[in-house]
Structure 1
Amino acid sequence: MTDLERIDNLPTDTLAGYRIRTGRPLPFGVSSVPGGLNFSVYTSAGTSCTLVLFSRSKGSLLAEIKIPDHYRIGDVYSIVVYDLDHEDVEYGFKIDGPYMPEVGHRFNPDNILMDPYARVISGRDEWGVEPDWNKQYQYRSRVAFDDFDWEGDSPLEINDADLIIYELHVRSFTKSESSGVKFKGTYAGIAEKIPYLQSLGVNAVELMPVFEFDEFENSKTHPDTSEKLYNYWGYSTVAFFAPKAGFAASGRFGMQVDEFKQLVKQLHKAGIEVILDVVFNHTAEGNERGPSISFKGLDNKIYYMLTPEGYYFNFSGTGNTLNCNNPVVRNLVLDCLRYWASEYHIDGFRFDLASILGRDPWGAPLNNPPLLESLAFDPILSSCKLIAEAWDAGGLYQVGTFPAFGRWSEWNGKYRDTARRYLKGDQGQVGEMAQRVQGSPDLYQWNGRSPATSINFITCHDGFTLADLVSFNEKHNKANGENNRDGGDDNYSWNCGAEGSTDNSNILALRIRQCMNALSMLMTSRGTPMLLMGDEFGRSQHGNNNAYCIDSPVSWVDWALLESNRALFEYTQALIHFRQQHPCLRIKSLLKNQPTSQFSTGISGFPAQKDGSAAIRAANSPISASLASLQGIG
């Protein structure tokens, strides 16, 4: 008896020189099938779809395959193409359809579009290397291989109440020569610094955006210094499923997936969780004047929130707003986070401008946002931390009222502002600060949420570093090329007597004691503390409170400060150890009927004064009196 061939694995047609057959509509994106690759893409209003294939090694077009209409199922085009070199092929789509911006349609059959589900993107393989702007297709989708050996690794699932988060930018953390690592400014560079993170005592790193973005988006040259200014922070996503190649030492070889997974695995071995800062509120496509990279050309009306005239709602402040509570977009977000949780073993996600995710297609806040609820109860994400930046650029501020569904934590902006004002000696802050120290029961006890709901921070990437908070009264952002107009003006900072650099020993000593007081408040407050990279040894951005475009020593961590400010580092170590040894600081629930004014006398017992005298007395209080002789930050 002869063996029977499986007919459903065999090609049935030939187009453009390639053997093909009808594909499987799910999963979206590209996936391997016996002998070939399955491509699947969604478009509800597109009238035809062409698969465009390139050779990565030759940089040339391989073929354009118009997917037969009978391969379409519902709103999904899918096709299997055989005999492709999985490691060499790059692909994209051309979608035909109406161009009617006034009703939301922006189809252009000449545009080659990136697959929104692409797991790997090429085109920006090395950081800061000028791309070939003549290429029609700037961001080329590639095939990822799920062959990484995790060696039994899994997410750590550290209890929320026990977390100590360390926020860092992948490139800034190790780019400086002073970092001493081999692979500077990369995922591998962070891995080299894991012993340092362990010695500090943190057990979670929160990585600023690592989804593929384009550092050349809106890049420019500083008019005075001729310095190149980039999209440095990356809060403008190009591809949600792909790690940024330019952050990988191996990115030019297309190995960014493995390098990032290796970082996660090594951090887990060290007992450190990985939280990703994710941006689902907008994309890199901007408004009607922006490029058509993916979503605009696939189904603009579905993916974006549009006005009745076809313009883009701009609740993100960056040109567009994703229509996240549309079921198709909601599924994309869920698929994305499930992928990172399952394939990269990510422990949690911090959502940039998360209040946008709770708006309906016309911008009104929803009482029961479907996306936020879906994320809270998703079975794959059930052990992931979900952290909201509980406000947006459209004026919606939800700290304490964010739709939590029993799962969401929040960046507590009220903690930041109160701690800063108390530290500098503003009047009327004692009662407010007492609430923040207790875990903000005024915000969270009323709805039964845990103190760990409150992510407590005094500094983060957006604003002054801790050293600058005690060294500058005003922002100094001229390096950004915007005449110091950008960045916040409500810094609640105090320069301790001199603006910026000084050689006054009294001011320097006061500054470092103020840093210690700030860190003491942070680490002895109930809730989840978050520390900004380098604050533990006095990192400065020289008064720049919005270094979003600066790829220079202004943004990079200066590791030489670890030695010159060793006492501050050791003090931070001791505080973290103190917190870990005292369960009363890490309670899991706010006690019912517990007085919320038990610390009403204030942290150091001094009434606040306008002239900062309370802060000066606090700086000389018992908690830091023995440190009065330390050298300042300068």
Structure 2
Amino acid sequence: MKDALKNFSAVPEGPFSATGEIAGYPVRPGLFLLNGANVVPGGVSFTIHSVSAASCELCLFRRGEEEPFAVLPFPEHFRIGNTFSMIVFGLDIHEFEYAYRMDGPWDPARGLLFDPTKYLLDPYARAVTGQSVWGSSRHPGQAYHARVVEDVFDWGDFSDPHLRFQDMIIYETHVRGFTRHPSSGVSCPGTFEGLLEKLPYLLELGVNAVELMPVFEFDEVADGRTVDGKQLLNYWGYNTVCFFAPNTSYTAAVEYNREGTQLKKLIRTLNEHGIEVILDVVVNHTAEGDHRGPFFSFKGLDNNIYYMLTPDGSYYNFSGVGNTLNCNHPMVRQFILDCLRYWVVEYRVDGFRFDLASILGRDSDGSPLAEPPLLESLAFDPILGRVKLIAEAWDAGGLYQVGSFPSWNRWAEWNGKYRDDLRRFLKGDEGMAWAAVERICGSLDLYPPDKRQNASVNFLTCHDGFTLYDLYAYNQKHNEANGWNNTDGANDNNSWNCGAEGETDDPAVLSLRERMAKNAFTVLLCSRGTPMFLAGDEFGNTQMGNNNPYCQDNEISWMDWSRLESHQQLFCFVKELIAFRKAHPVVRGKTAPAGCGWPDVSLHNGVPWNKEIDGCTRQIGVLFAGRNQEDTQDDLVLLAINAHWEAHWQQLPELPAGMKWRLVLDTAQPDSFHPQRPFDGSGLQLEGRSAAVFTAEKV
């Protein structure tokens, strides 16, 4: 006891003086309005709540030990309403871990699962112990513990970029997979530090927003399996263990009681260089799963409140992984709001992408709500007032809300229809030309500008599905390594292998694949809306045909940086295309009217001013016109695409006097951004499966 009380002399007088003693520790009622564990002068305030619990115990552990060295029951007068709060004095925060035990009714039919023998992780924990070594196994039944975190990070004169949605170019990546491959050349592979080492690369590429796949603490070994001698892990991280704690296995060094420091450094440094950071958050389910899953937090607090339950106490499964958070219950809604506010205030993140966001709009019985309270709260919260809110507007229960997600003009959406329509058009499917025009012009059929501003996040690839290279290298998914007999992953990929399945030495096939990738990037970066692409697509990264590598912590998922050299031409093309988009605001969104009197958007399908699709079923021409505010010069950009396998002529509209057309890029040529073939300014023969971009300039 003497060692445990070595800081007893530090117990202060005054407002934080002890009023009693429990298990040899000076204590007093805690800070009821501050959830979690918070350092106060001389002690730590522990606060947790439960509606149905009869009693609560605080359990203290020495670092790395599984049995507590002290158990402190909360006295009844340390409880207000449904909240337990206690300040414990004399603790050395660097030497202990903590968890809770709750007692109460056990009635599974009513969803009540209180078990006083279970150690429960604090939902508001700022750090989770035992997670700092990637892939290290926790033995069955081992409890999660939490640590107290000291916030000592100095943000200095921090100021984030506050980019407009239409000016963003989002780069989606996995923290570990971005640099884990030996070819990455970084000193701290697979970590926040490793990602930061690649900052010069990100700046050269030109992206200005990085969307990080889950960085909340998750348990990568929870569903571990062995297939063909390889250990499979929950690599992606869509199984949250704790919503307030960063994933400590992504740090380059253990950060005892300083957890989050390296992530904060990463965010601050990226922001200082004009790159915003968006977190992919999973607030639709947890790693506790269904009745077969582990029991470590919400199940033992208020299982019937935090999870959607059927009338017989079973778990609704709109997430596809066992359970579904009851997001629109007032307590759960407040918890999610507290979580996101915390990440904005303490980590200064610039936005959130919400996994399976349609779940956030479901009622406790699973029915969709017209005006979900949670989504409204997030839309109007003052702390979240300037962060980006991006919804994956569907869920595993079949609710698909692309174009109809409740927004209050604050929510953007991953535009799944953009992906599907453009994939089909670009590979040459009949009858997709008009849908392609709609998507390129900003999907005004889905997001009328008077109702939905900046709502469309355009993408052709993301972590879930084929990489861009694989999109044009495989007709079918090849997920055998996942161990599910190739039954997992999407079947509707709208892909095309260009004549050979998988890897090939055929130069004609390889050339066509690169052209198809260039076409895809040209369309994506010349479309109105916010473009997003998967890290590595810019240099032909492959997953060997696996379109669902959620469990592959190996070369299937890791970015192979050696392909940057072998696909240097594609990388340079994407880099120049990003710079082109930044230089032409008329592509990104509506600007001041052009002086020539041309409309903001016009169609030139094959010939000037042709809005008809008949006869041009695989060929379109889209012209964006506006005025550059900096020099009052007209900014005219014409995107022409021929998705047919035969060549077609693209006639250009006649320009006002004093201007001429310039051919900016032609994907039919190897050096696409520096076209060598003659161009007389009146039109261009578009080769089969190619795209071209023209701008107008003064004579």
Taking structure 1 as the reference length, the TM-score comes to 0.94
Structure 2 residue 581 is the aligned partner of structure 1 residue 538 = no
Residue 608 of structure 1 is matched in structure 2 by 618
The within-5 A match list for 1:327-346 is: 327-346=330-349
Q: How far, CA to CA, are the matches of 1:375 and 1:575 in structure 2? A: 35
Q: How far, CA to CA, are the matches of 2:222 and 2:599 in structure 1? A: 51
Change (3 A) 1:305 1:364: same
Contact 1:435-1:597 within 8 A present in 2 as well: no
Amino acid at match of 2:308: M
1:363-415: CA deviation from partner (whole Å, max 9, x where unpaired): 11111110000000000000100000000111111101100111000000000
> Taking CA–CA contacts closer than 8 Å with sequence separation of 6 or more, which of the two structures ends up with the larger relative contact order?
1
Change (3 A) 1:600 1:405: farther
Residue 554 of structure 1 is matched in structure 2 by 556
Picking from 298, 301, 306, the partner of 1:303 is: 306
Task: Give ranges in structure 2 of 5+ residues lacking alignment.
Answer: 1-11, 620-640, 651-664, 674-699
Q: How far, CA to CA, are the matches of 1:471 and 1:30 in structure 2? A: 51
Q: How far, CA to CA, are the matches of 1:442 and 1:293 in structure 2? A: 46
Residue 134 of structure 2 is matched in structure 1 by 127
Amino acid at match of 2:582: Q
Residue 681 of structure 2 is matched in structure 1 by none
Picking from 589, 603, 609, the partner of 1:587 is: 589
For residue 490 of structure 1, report the CA deviation from its aligned partner: 0.2
Residue 205 of structure 1 is matched in structure 2 by 210
Residue 199 of structure 2 is matched in structure 1 by 194
Structure label with greater radius of gyration: 2
Contact 1:434-1:597 within 8 A present in 2 as well: no
Q: How far, CA to CA, are the matches of 1:483 and 1:624 in structure 2? A: 38
For residue 86 of structure 1, report the CA deviation from its aligned partner: 1.3
For residue 226 of structure 1, report the CA deviation from its aligned partner: 1.1
After TM superposition, the structure 1 stretch with the greater mean CA deviation from structure 2, 72-81 or 61-70, is: 61-70
Q: How far, CA to CA, are the matches of 2:369 and 2:64 in structure 1? A: 49
Structure 2 residue 204 is the aligned partner of structure 1 residue 175 = no
The within-5 A match list for 1:354-365 is: 354-365=357-368
Q: How far, CA to CA, are the matches of 1:594 and 1:546 in structure 2? A: 43
For residue 596 of structure 1, report the CA deviation from its aligned partner: 7.9
Higher strand share: 2
Change (3 A) 1:594 1:118: farther
Picking from 44, 48, 51, the partner of 1:44 is: 51
What SS class does the counterpart of residue 371 from structure 1 fall into? helix
Structure 2 residue 625 is the aligned partner of structure 1 residue 623 = no
Q: How far, CA to CA, are the matches of 1:76 and 1:618 in structure 2? A: 71
Q: How far, CA to CA, are the matches of 1:83 and 1:483 in structure 2? A: 56
Change (3 A) 1:556 1:355: same
Structure 2 residue 509 is the aligned partner of structure 1 residue 507 = yes
Picking from 543, 563, 566, the partner of 1:564 is: 566
Structure 2 residue 130 is the aligned partner of structure 1 residue 87 = no
Residue 281 of structure 1 is matched in structure 2 by 284
Q: How far, CA to CA, are the matches of 2:219 and 2:419 in structure 1? A: 31
For residue 448 of structure 1, report the CA deviation from its aligned partner: 2.1
Q: How far, CA to CA, are the matches of 1:582 and 1:618 in structure 2? A: 28
Contact 1:117-1:241 within 8 A present in 2 as well: yes
Residue 190 of structure 2 is matched in structure 1 by 185
Matched-pair identity in %:
53
The within-5 A match list for 1:148-159 is: 148-159=153-164
1:606-633: CA deviation from partner (whole Å, max 9, x where unpaired): 5339xx9944348999721222899xxx
Picking from 9, 20, 40, the partner of 2:16 is: 9
1:584-613: CA deviation from partner (whole Å, max 9, x where unpaired): 11216999x97987366699995339xx99
Residue 654 of structure 2 is matched in structure 1 by none
After TM superposition, the structure 1 stretch with the greater mean CA deviation from structure 2, 157-166 or 247-256, is: 247-256
Residue 449 of structure 1 is matched in structure 2 by 452
Q: How far, CA to CA, are the matches of 1:545 and 1:289 in structure 2? A: 27
Taking structure 2 as the reference length, the TM-score comes to 0.85
Q: How far, CA to CA, are the matches of 1:268 and 1:603 in structure 2? A: 45
Residue 221 of structure 1 is matched in structure 2 by 226
Structure 2 residue 500 is the aligned partner of structure 1 residue 471 = no
For residue 504 of structure 1, report the CA deviation from its aligned partner: 0.8
Q: How far, CA to CA, are the matches of 2:480 and 2:151 in structure 1? A: 45
Q: How far, CA to CA, are the matches of 2:394 and 2:588 in structure 1? A: 26
What SS class does the counterpart of residue 275 from structure 1 fall into? strand
Residue 499 of structure 2 is matched in structure 1 by 497
After TM superposition, the structure 1 stretch with the greater mean CA deviation from structure 2, 153-162 or 582-591, is: 582-591
Residue 483 of structure 2 is matched in structure 1 by 481
What SS class does the counterpart of residue 445 from structure 2 fall into? helix
Q: What root-mean-square deviation, in Å, do the aligned CA atoms of Structure 1 and Structure 2 show? A: 2.4
For residue 252 of structure 1, report the CA deviation from its aligned partner: 6.7
Q: How far, CA to CA, are the matches of 2:15 and 2:287 in structure 1? A: 39
Picking from 362, 379, 386, the partner of 2:382 is: 379
Residue 292 of structure 1 is matched in structure 2 by 295
Contact 1:526-1:587 within 8 A present in 2 as well: yes
Picking from 421, 425, 429, the partner of 1:426 is: 429
Picking from 28, 45, 65, the partner of 1:21 is: 28
Task: Give ranges in structure 1 of 5+ residues lacking alignment.
Answer: none
For residue 8 of structure 1, report the CA deviation from its aligned partner: 3.1
Contact 2:226-2:232 within 8 A present in 1 as well: yes
What SS class does the counterpart of residue 30 from structure 1 fall into? strand
Amino acid at match of 2:491: D
